Amino acid sequence: MNILGEIGIKISWVLSLYAFLVLFLGIRSRQPSFLQSGYRAFGAIFLLTTAATGALVYALATKDFSLRYVAENVSSNLPLFYAVTALWAGQAGSLLFWAWLLALFTALVILQNRNRNEAFLPYVLLTLSVLQFFFLTLLVFPSNPFEPLGFTIREGMGLNPLLQNPGMIFHPPTLYLGYVGFAIPFSFAIAALLTRRLDAEWIRSTRRWTLFAWLFLSICILLGAKWAYEELGWGGYWAWDPVENASLMPWLTGTAYLHSVMIQERKGMLKIWNMILIVVTFLLTILGTFITRSGMISSVHSFGASSLGPMFLVFLLAAALISFYLIYTRRHELRSRNRLDSYLSRESSFLFNNLILLGATFAVLWGTLFPLISEAVRGVKVTVGPPFFNQVNVPIGIVLILLTGICPLISWRKATWNNFLRNFLIPSGVFLASIMALFVAGLRNLYALLSFSLSAFVLATIFLEFYRGTRARVRLHGEAIPVAFGRLVNKYRRRYGGYIIHIGMILIFIGITGSSVFKKEKEVTLRKGDAFEFAGYRLEFVGIDEYRTSTAQVAAAALKLWKGDRYLGLANPSKHYHFLQEQTMTEVYIRSSLKEDLYLILAAIQKDGSVQIKAHLNPLLIWIWIGGYVVIFGTVIAIWPSRKKKPATAARKAEPAETVLQPAS
């Protein structure tokens, strides 16, 4: 099996080079048979990498410790589920999984576009063959997953217990799905540049791919945050660590891209801008891999320095150089026909939203690379902590909330007074009412006041849209309200899916604001029978439970928990000592409600039997996860294929048709 996997990778590597050459020749000589041969090469790469991935999964599942990768990542007592998912627990396996995803996506692109985009497809595949060649090179030379260990051992290292959490198990694959997903719109963009077919066709053809990649990157970030919150036990979910930033940056530019392409589709504007955005998004996914894999930027994560760093850097620079050269040489064709007429227009508000998102990306990038920059310029290593990122990004976030409300509803070209009254009068009233209500209720933090009341503003605009759309259908078609609502969303999935995503994002903003502005902490040392009060809760330390599981020795503090007079049960934050890894893990106790999370950490057990407990109160934090589910739901609606035969033209017609629904304007 192992030898089959290794051979599969090597043949794929040769085939990716072959595909590049044959496509190149096919494009130059206009020989369809050459192109066909190239397509078939990708089919073979997909089958071979599937076989190689299967072989590695088999080796992991059967715990074949003769392979270095297996020995380093699983142990004989590891459950089958975790053993199989160890495919992406280490570097070599991750890269194989990555190459396999790219092969899968390429095969799907061929199936999808064979008869639709014949002019584009060879160029798209040319780009993808270069990417595939790069990743396979890594697998053939520096990072071979089938490398034999060279000596025999009876037991493997096992999977890091911190990673044995469902959230963490699905975090890496969602990241790769997102990262690899962005390679598809990127290669279409390069194809558009190469063929000089610079209308919105390449954007329409990849709209679902982009949404797909964005969806998985969103899920990845949320899972990472949830895992950090539940497993790392410091009471928070986001620390602005370089590795976290690495996933956030392409998400920000990807979000900007998803918005600005609408302007190109509708108005033929921002062509150059969209090109730059998708190229930058793709480059940031490569930079993200570089940051996590090179060890050049000191991160709490620090995956261990590896030889891959320089290779990624070279690839990154080469990709940037080629992409920007292509954009530069085609800059005249990328000029837009229309121009901005007014600051108060949908075009401007989208552009503004883009600049803000890009600004946030730049600030995060600057903060992440700052240690490197300062060392190069001033010779001293200087880091910036979370205060920097918060200080820059909180105001940006507040402007973004405001724009979430304005962008979808402001008129094209130039907003009129009527447009304002119609779409924003009631929401502005909601905004003023909520800011006053919060102020009277005693809230004095400016950012929190703005964040909450602007959120109310945005939710009001969206509910008004849903209400008006539904009412119009009820009147026109005489449908019952739920039917009208369902059909409305179903008919204009892209638009209403987008609104639902916005609702989710607003809930996330509310959760972030609540849990960062109003959080409380308290640290206490308790002897048996001691009790303490914290934020309306009362906790009494009863004793320590000690027991053994199959992998760990557990010491759990038992605390009786009351909220006011109501007894809520026992809370048991604990410490798990994992024998195999000789590592202690703190398992926190979390009691979530819609209002707040109570988060208890067993910091230490003293020799005299007393315990040190750290309690956190994180108000509204659960709304981050709820908002996440809403974002996922909305994206799925927006991505769902329509039954019509030509989705591209359907999408084009959707917008004008919607104006029919607004008889009042």
Partner 1 sequence: MKNRKFIVGGTIIFFILAILIYQGLNRSMMAYVDVRELDKADLVNTEVAQVTGIVQPGSVVQNESTGQLTFVLQDMEDPEATVKVRYRGILPDNFKPGLQVVVQGRIQEQEIVAEQILTKCPSKYNTEL
Burial label for 546, CB within 10 Å (0-12, 13-18, 19+), is exposed
Q: Which stretch binds partner 1 (CB under 8 A): 108-116, 392-400, 408-416, 654-662?
A: 392-400
Q: Based on CB atoms, which residue is closest to partner 1, 387 or 529?
A: 387
Sheet holding 589-592, edge to edge: 520-526, 611-619, 596-605, 589-592
Task: Out of 118, 155, 199, 523, point to the residue binding partner 1 (CB under 8 A).
Answer: 523
Size of interface with partner 1, in residues (CB under 8 A) = 67
Distances (CA, A) of 209 to 186, 254, 405, 487: 10, 12, 26, 25
**Closest approach of Cβ 447 to partner 1, in Å?**
13
Pairing of strands 574-578, 566-571: unpaired
**Closest approach of Cβ 624 to partner 1, in Å?**
20
**Under rule CB under 8 A, residue 395 binds partner 1:** yes
Mask for 326-345, x = binds partner 1 (CB under 8 A): -------------xx-xx--
Q: Based on CB atoms, which residue is closest to partner 1, 80 or 604?
A: 604
Task: Out of 301, 413, 487, 560, point to the residue binding partner 1 (CB under 8 A).
Answer: 301
Distances (CA, A) of 360 to 6, 249, 343, 502: 43, 8, 21, 18
The H or E element containing residue 263 is helix 242-267
Q: Which stretch binds partner 1 (CB under 8 A): 107-115, 463-471, 560-568, 583-591?
A: 583-591
3-state secondary structure of 361: helix
**Under rule CB under 8 A, residue 307 binds partner 1:** no
CB 76 within 8 A of CB 86: no
**Under rule CB under 8 A, residue 76 binds partner 1:** no
Nearest of 618, 612, 605 to residue 517 by alpha carbon: 618
CB 560 within 8 A of CB 591: no
Q: Based on CB atoms, which residue is closest to partner 1, 118 or 155?
A: 155
**Under rule CB under 8 A, residue 387 binds partner 1:** yes
**Under rule CB under 8 A, residue 362 binds partner 1:** yes
Count the Cβ atoms, other than its own, within 10 Å of residue 435.
Answer: 18
Q: Which stretch binds partner 1 (CB under 8 A): 52-60, 350-358, 413-421, 465-473?
A: 350-358
Half-sphere exposure of 280 (CA within 13 A, CB side): 20
**Closest approach of Cβ 225 to partner 1, in Å?**
13
Q: Based on CB atoms, which residue is closest to partner 1, 601 or 630?
A: 601
CB 169 within 8 A of CB 175: no
**Under rule CB under 8 A, residue 355 binds partner 1:** yes
**Under rule CB under 8 A, residue 166 binds partner 1:** no
Nearest of 22, 27, 19, 208 to residue 118 by alpha carbon: 27
Task: Out of 33, 36, 76, 298, point to the residue binding partner 1 (CB under 8 A).
Answer: 298
**Closest approach of Cβ 147 to partner 1, in Å?**
11
Q: Based on CB atoms, which residue is closest to partner 1, 6 or 231?
A: 231
Task: Out of 170, 370, 420, 532, point to the residue binding partner 1 (CB under 8 A).
Answer: 370
Half-sphere exposure of 501 (CA within 13 A, CB side): 23
Whole-number Å distance between alpha carbons of 119 and 121: 6
3-state secondary structure of 542: strand
**Under rule CB under 8 A, residue 288 binds partner 1:** no
Residue position matching structure tokens 């989705």: 647
Could you tell me which residues come within 8 angstroms of residue 252 by beta carbon, excluding any fewer than 6 positions away? 357, 358, 360, 361, 364
**Closest approach of Cβ 262 to partner 1, in Å?**
17
**Under rule CB under 8 A, residue 64 binds partner 1:** no
List residues binding partner 1 (CB under 8 A): 68, 71-72, 89-91, 94, 149, 157, 160, 162-163, 168, 232-234, 298, 300-304, 306, 339-340, 342-343, 348, 351-352, 355-356, 359, 362-363, 366-367, 370-371, 380-389, 391-392, 395-396, 523, 525, 583-586, 601, 603-604, 606-608, 612, 614
